[in-house]
C-alpha cells in the first residue's frame, strides 16, 4: 500500500514538472514585437521557436518608415558571417539558446543586431508577459523588452 502511494506521488510530481516545463516553453515561443530602446518604436517581429531542444528566432516582419529601404540587408554583418549581405527579413538572429530549468531562462546562445552587424551572447526569459532579451559582451549587458505580437505578418 505504501509503495503504491509513493509511486503515485512520484508520478504526480514528475507530471507536474513536465507540464510546467512545457508551459514555459510554450509561453516563450511565438511572435514577439521588438522595440527600439532608443526611439521606443517597433522595429520588427521575431518568431521564437524551439528546434532540436534549442531556441531560435527569425525576423518575420519589419516595420519600416517612409523612405527607408523596404527590404534591407545586413551590410554591417562581419563578412565572415554567412548572414553578411543577406536580407534581414527571414534572417535567423537568435541561435542555439538552451533551457536552464533552475532559473527558467534560455541562454548560452547568440543574438545578432542586424542594424549594427554585431553578435552578442544572449539570455531570454518571460517576465510579466513580456520577453526579456539580454545581450552580453563580457560583463556588460543591455536588456530589451519585447511584446507579444498578434497582428498580421
Q: What is the pLDDT of residues 25-38, one digit of tens each?
A: 569 999 999 998 88
Q: Decide if 101 is inside a domain.
A: yes
| 153 assigned to some structural domain | no
Residue 35: inside a domain = yes
pLDDT at residue 37, as a whole number: 82
pLDDT of 98 reads 99
pLDDT at 1: 59
Alpha helices in the chain (DSSP H): 2-28
Identify whether 104 is part of a domain.
yes
Q: Is residue 106 part of a domain?
A: yes
Q: 36: domain CATH number?
A: 2.40.128.520
Does the residue 5 lie in any domain?
no
pLDDT of the residue at 2: 60
- Tell me how far CA of residue 32 lies from CA of 7, 67, 84, 134, in angstroms: 41, 25, 24, 15
Which domain, by its residues, includes 44? Answer: 29-148
CB 112 within 8 A of CB 102: no
Supply the pLDDT for residue 9: 38
117 in a domain, yes or no? Answer: yes
C-alpha to C-alpha distance for 123 and 15, rounded to whole angstroms: 27
List Cα–Cα distances, 133 to 12, 93, 106, in angstroms. Answer: 33, 12, 10
Domain count of the fold of the chain: 1
Distance, in Å, from the CA atom of 115 to the CA atom of 89, rounded to the nearest integer, reads 12
Q: Taking all residues of the chain, what is their mean pLDDT, rounded to a whole number? A: 88
Rounded CA Rg of the chain: 19
Cβ proximity of 122 and 94 under 8 Å: yes
Which residue ranges of the chain lie beneath pLDDT 50? Answer: 5-24
- Our measurement of the distance from residue 112's CA atom to the centroid of its chain's CA atoms, rounded to an integer in Å, reads 11
Amino acid at each position: 500500500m505504501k509503495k503504491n502511494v509513493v509511486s503515485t506521488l512520484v508520478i504526480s510530481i514528475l507530471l507536474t514538472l513536465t507540464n510546467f516545463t512545457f508551459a514555459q516553453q510554450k509561453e516563450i515561443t511565438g511572435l514577439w514585437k521588438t522595440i527600439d530602446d532608443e526611439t521606443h518604436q517597433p522595429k520588427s517581429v521575431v518568431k521564437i521557436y524551439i528546434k532540436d531542444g534549442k531556441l531560435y528566432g527569425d525576423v518575420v516582419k519589419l516595420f519600416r518608415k517612409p523612405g527607408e529601404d523596404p527590404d534591407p540587408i545586413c551590410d554591417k554583418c562581419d563578412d565572415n558571417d554567412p548572414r553578411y549581405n543577406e536580407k534581414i527579413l527571414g534572417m535567423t538572429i537568435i541561435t542555439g539558446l538552451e533551457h536552464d530549468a533552475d532559473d527558467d531562462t534560455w541562454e548560452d546562445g547568440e543574438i545578432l543586431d542586424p542594424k549594427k552587424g554585431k553578435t552578442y551572447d544572449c539570455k531570454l526569459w518571460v517576465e510579466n508577459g513580456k520577453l526579456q532579451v539580454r545581450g552580453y559582451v563580457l560583463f556588460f549587458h543591455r536588456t530589451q523588452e519585447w511584446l507579444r505580437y498578434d497582428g498580421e505578418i
